[in-house]
């Protein structure tokens, strides 16, 4: 993303997650019922997603699996957006000086619609 934005002048980055994301489902499953024999590849995915969804299990969402998954998908998207907005000096500078915009959106597998729910102010 740094390369595309800096070299070619891209001014929009869309972090697009999707409903019923397998990585989110696997992470929630692992957090609720840890397994000792998890594959290293799945463990790697769970470790990347865990920080964005773990806190949700301490809320009332833990009693409503569908809502929990929906909110976990969006939390993971928000975390990824935040990481791009604030985790790269190159992207931070392009946001500040050149109008680069990083937004989050969710694609619904059921409807085919995209909801741009994490859009920076002024966009």
Structure confidence by residue, pLDDT tens digits, 6-15: 999 999 999 9
In a domain, 123, yes or no: no
Q: CATH number of the domain that 28 lies in?
A: 3.40.1050.10
Residues 6+ apart with CB under 8 A from 91: 1, 2, 5, 13, 84, 85, 100, 102
Q: What is the pTM of this model?
A: 0.90
Structural domain harbouring 41: 2-118
pLDDT value, residue 123: 55
Does the structure show a pLDDT above 60 at 98? yes
Torsion of CA 79, 1, 86, 108, to 10 degrees: -20
pLDDT tens column, 62-81: 999 999 999 999 999 999 99
In a domain, 61, yes or no: yes
Q: Domains in the chain: how many in total?
A: 1
Angle at 103 between CA 55 and CA 120, to 5 degrees: 95
In a domain, 48, yes or no: yes
Q: How does residue 42 score in pLDDT terms, banded at 50, 70 and 90? A: confident
Nearest-angstrom CA–CA distance, 31 and 62: 11
């Amino acid at each position: 993303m740094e390369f595309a934005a800096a070299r070619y002048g891209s001014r929009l980055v869309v972090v697009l997650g999707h409903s019923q994301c397998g990585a989110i489902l696997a992470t929630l499953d692992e957090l609720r019922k840890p397994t000792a024999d998890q594959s290293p590849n799945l463990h790697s995915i769970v470790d990347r997603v865990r920080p964005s969804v773990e806190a949700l299990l301490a809320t009332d969402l833990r009693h409503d699996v569908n809502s929990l998954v929906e909110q976990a998908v969006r939390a993971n998207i928000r975390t990824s957006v935040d990481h791009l907005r604030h985790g790269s000096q190159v992207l931070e500078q392009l946001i500040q000086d050149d109008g680069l915009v990083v937004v989050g959106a969710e694609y619904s597998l059921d409807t085919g619609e995209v909801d741009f729910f994490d859009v920076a102010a002024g966009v």
